[in-house]
């Protein structure tokens, strides 16, 4: 098991909201040296970048079909990444992953949230939206 641990997933009705969390449990690096991001994935599909945040939290990027319904934030003291999701629909059913990168070159250069930028991944938390 890696050092990023997600929580907060579950079953929710359409129109509901969820707050996902990701805790960095590694004690041998400095959490606020790293860019953090949330991705999601459905079976048979690539991971889609949902949101990313700079090491200080001062810069945020949003992508994909969830743009406008998500808010990413981080608490560098608690080494925790948060994703608040509003107005969930059945199409949001997916496994949600947090990811970590020290350089995030493509993110910084082009503002795109891509899987290949990120080196460390959590095991994911499942979100299921149904009535």
State how far the Cα of 56 lies from the Cα of 126, in Å rounded to an integer.
28
- Residue for token digits 């009535």? 131
Residue 6 has pLDDT above 80, yes or no: yes
Mean pLDDT of the chain: 95
Residue 125 confidence (pLDDT) above 80: yes
Q: What is the pLDDT of residue 29?
A: 83
DSSP 44: T
**35-77 pLDDT, tens digit each:** 999 999 998 999 999 999 999 999 999 998 899 999 999 999 9
> pLDDT at position 88, please?
97
């Amino acid at each position: 098991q890696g050092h990023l641990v997600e929580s907060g997933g579950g079953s929710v009705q359409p129109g509901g909201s969820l707050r996902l969390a990701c805790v960095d449990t590694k004690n041998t690096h400095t959490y606020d040296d790293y860019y953090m991001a949330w991705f999601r994935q459905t079976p048979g599909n690539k991971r889609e970048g949902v949101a990313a945040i700079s090491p200080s939290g001062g810069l945020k990027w949003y992508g994909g079909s969830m743009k406008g319904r998500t808010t990413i934030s981080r608490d560098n003291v608690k080494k925790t990444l948060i994703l608040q999701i509003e107005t969930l629909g059945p199409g949001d059913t997916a496994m949600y992953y947090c990811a970590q990168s020290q350089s995030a070159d493509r993110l910084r250069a082009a503002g795109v949230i891509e899987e290949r930028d990120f080196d460390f991944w959590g095991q994911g938390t499942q979100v299921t939206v149904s009535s």
